[in-house]
Structure 1
Amino acid sequence: MKSLREKIEARLEDAKGTWSVAVEDLTKGEAFSLNGNESFYAASVIKVPIMAAVFAAAEEGVIRLGDCLPLRRDNIVGGSGVLQFMSPGIELPIYDLITLMIIQSDNTATNMLIDLIGTEKIQAVMNGLGMERSEIHHKLMIVQANRTNSNDITAADITALLTRIARGECVSLHASEQMVRILKQQQLSNGLADRFPATESTIVGAIPQWEFAGKTGTVEGIMHECALLYVHGRCVAVTVLSKGCTEVESREMIAQIGSDVYMYSSRNN
């Protein structure tokens, strides 16, 4: 892990903008972070702890994941997601709203879940999971004129959350399994897996060379990605946060870091 840290550190020395990286090898129990406790605007990465909070509410019996919520016209916001194009009045199970929030980063689904659980409950779950440097204060794509606080995260907090999920220690083993299943269906990328080898196989049912369970976050001047990377029976949690770069610069650096983590995982079986 020392060599991986040194390689990523060298990449970031001349990088534009501000960067934060936190990596944990769950198999070896080793970890490191670079600027890991610096606060960044969360963008859509905040949806991972929101997901954990919804599963926590279900575990407590406050809600049921199979219950349906109606889509109201005043729920609809822009940005990522498909619900903004759906007809008001349709009803979706809470589990499907979680899935849309994660794999398509659906902002409307996210806000419906925030309304359901409440920011105080979400923050309490985050604190209980050790995310004491991360905060949630508002819904997405709704800018209040008098807003004083923003949704903030650190790379160390997000990697710690992913690690707990991978170990089956986030809410419960069953909840953790469901969260990983959803994260593995991710349809968006900011580059972390851009340089991974192709996983196609001519053998039906073949075990893939690698699997990726992640979440992105992007707003102007900000690009993040976090993930659990499964390679040859091993698992590495990685979070990369950036601000002050162009989209091209950010994606290229995230791809390079992703490649470094993949090569480390492949060579350290």
Structure 2
Amino acid sequence: MQKYALLSLVLAGGAWLRADPLIDRIKERVGTFSGTVSLYAKNLDSGATLGIADNDPVRTASTIKLPIMLAVFRAVEDGKAKWTETLSVTKAEKVSGSGIIASEISDGVSLPLRDVVNLMIVLSDNTATNMLIERFTAEAVNSHLDQLGIKGTRLMRKILGDGTSLKSPSGWSAVGKLPENAKYGTGKSTPKDMVTILEKLEKGEIISPEASKEMLAILKRCQDNKGIRRKLNGYTIASKSGALDALRSDVAVVYTKQGTRIAMAITVEGIPSIDYTPENPGLLMIADLAQIIVEGMSGK
């Protein structure tokens, strides 16, 4: 198994410990950004990996919706929920930001559980996310992560949207109430944790092979194509992205044209200005790094 070591292996004097064209390309691109870049990538077929601060905690933004989906599937598998049940749209759960429920769906409308999950992932619907947290609880999400051996990822609370406080008092997890975790917002994770989740899905190890396959199918329908998907036209990609004012993140399995599978998680923090256009420098960074990783790791 080949291991690429990046920023974690920079000498005090600034010299790199090993020369590799892939490392050189990533180093050059990351060096153009004034903020911080965290990433982890793994060729799921060869086992080759590379990372930058891959075990450091980062704000998840909407990538935390991936673990939420896992917990819902777990509850259905355990008989604690049914796909045929419905969830009611309420004013208390409506928040601004991505999605359509808050702006287009009337209060009191009942939506099938499966549709709410699809909206949370495919459109990154914030209100759908809050509806699911209300139904299944943040603690259940974190408990399921523990069952999977994922210790560095935690759902802290429901999504605020443009608000400054939760409309519902039931939206917090125990760790989310800790003062030291306030800086993470909705959730925290590490690039390596996210890739581990994706690898487990790809191996059919989360809940069941059938459930894992179904969750990957939902991720493949994600409509955000401004990050990892941006420059990888013609590739099949299962992904979930996230955005905050100064942050962009994206996690994905890329099914390459060489027949290999590359899982990656990239977070760009410290974007200098608020910019929600497709030309956000964080999105451009993620797109470039994803292209470099796929080109450099497909045959490794």
Same fold (TM over 0.5): yes
Select 2:270's aligned residue among 244, 260, 267: 244
Match of 1:204 in 2: none
**Code of the aligned partner of 1:217:** G
Deviations for 1:150-181, whole angstroms, at most 9, x for unmatched residues? 42111111111111111111121111011101
Structure 1 contact 214–225 (Cα < 8 Å) conserved: yes
Give the 3-state SS of the residue equivalent to 2:118 in structure 1.
helix
Q: Distance in 1 between matches of 2:59 and 2:266?
A: 13
Q: Distance in 2 between matches of 1:80 and 1:101?
A: 9
Structure 1 contact 189–216 (Cα < 8 Å) conserved: no
Select 1:50's aligned residue among 68, 85, 90: 68
Select 1:168's aligned residue among 204, 215, 225: 204
Q: Distance in 2 between matches of 1:126 and 1:64?
A: 21
Quote how far apart the aligned CAs of 1:7 are.
Answer: 2.9
1:159 and 2:170 are equivalent in the alignment: no
Structure 1 contact 159–238 (Cα < 8 Å) conserved: yes
Q: Distance in 2 between matches of 1:257 and 1:138?
A: 30
| Count of matched residue positions in the alignment of Structure 1 and Structure 2 | 257
Match of 1:133 in 2: 152
Instruction: Give RMSD over aligned pairs.
Output: 1.9
Structure 2 contact 37–266 (Cα < 8 Å) conserved: yes
- Unaligned segments of structure 2, at least 5 residues: 5-19, 167-175
> Where does 1:1-269 land on structure 2 (aligned, <5 Å)?
2=4, 3=20, 4-84=22-102, 85-141=104-160, 143-144=164-165, 148=179, 149=181, 150=185, 151-197=187-233, 199=234, 210-232=235-257, 233-246=259-272, 247=275, 248-264=280-296, 266=298, 268=299
Give the 3-state SS of the residue equivalent to 1:174 in structure 2.
helix
Give the 3-state SS of the residue equivalent to 1:75 in structure 2.
coil
Structure 1 contact 183–214 (Cα < 8 Å) conserved: yes
Structure 1 contact 76–83 (Cα < 8 Å) conserved: yes
Q: Distance in 2 between matches of 1:257 and 1:36?
A: 15
Give the 3-state SS of the residue equivalent to 1:213 in structure 2.
strand
Stretches of 4+ aligned residues off by more than 4 angstroms: none
- Unaligned segments of structure 1, at least 5 residues: 200-209
Q: Distance in 1 between matches of 2:39 and 2:129?
A: 25
Deviations for 1:194-250, whole angstroms, at most 9, x for unmatched residues? 2224x3xxxxxxxxxx20110110010010011110123321101000110145221
Give the 3-state SS of the residue equivalent to 1:87 in structure 2.
coil
Q: Distance in 2 between matches of 1:7 and 1:66?
A: 49
Quote how far apart the aligned CAs of 1:31 are.
Answer: 1.9
**Code of the aligned partner of 2:260:** R
Structure 1 contact 80–106 (Cα < 8 Å) conserved: yes
Q: TM-score, normalised by structure 1?
A: 0.89
Quote how far apart the aligned CAs of 1:13 are.
Answer: 3.4
Q: Distance in 1 between matches of 2:23 and 2:66?
A: 25
Deviations for 1:67-126, whole angstroms, at most 9, x for unmatched residues? 111112222111110011211121111111111000110011000100111111100111
Segment drifting more, 78-87 vs 11-20:
11-20
